[in-house]
Amino acid sequence: MRVVAQGTFDLLHPGHLHYLREARAMGDELHVIIARQDNVTHKEPPLLPDRQRRDMVAALDPVTEAHLGHTEDIFVPIERIDPDRIVLGHDQHHDDDAIRAALAERGIDCEVARAGPREPRYEGEVLSTGTIIDRVCEERC
Residue numbers in the known binding site for ATP are 8-9, 13-16, 91
Residue type, 33: I
76-98: burial string, b at 16+ Cβ within 10 Å, e else: ebbeebebebbbbbeebeeeeee
Residues 6+ apart with CB under 8 A from 103: 75, 78, 86, 109, 110, 112
Residue type, 84: D
CA pair distance 126, 122, nearest whole angstrom: 9
Closest to 8 in 3D by CA, of 102, 84, 74, 95: 74
Residues in binding site = 8-9, 13-16, 91
Q: Are strands 2-7 and 85-88 parallel, antiparallel or unpaired?
A: parallel
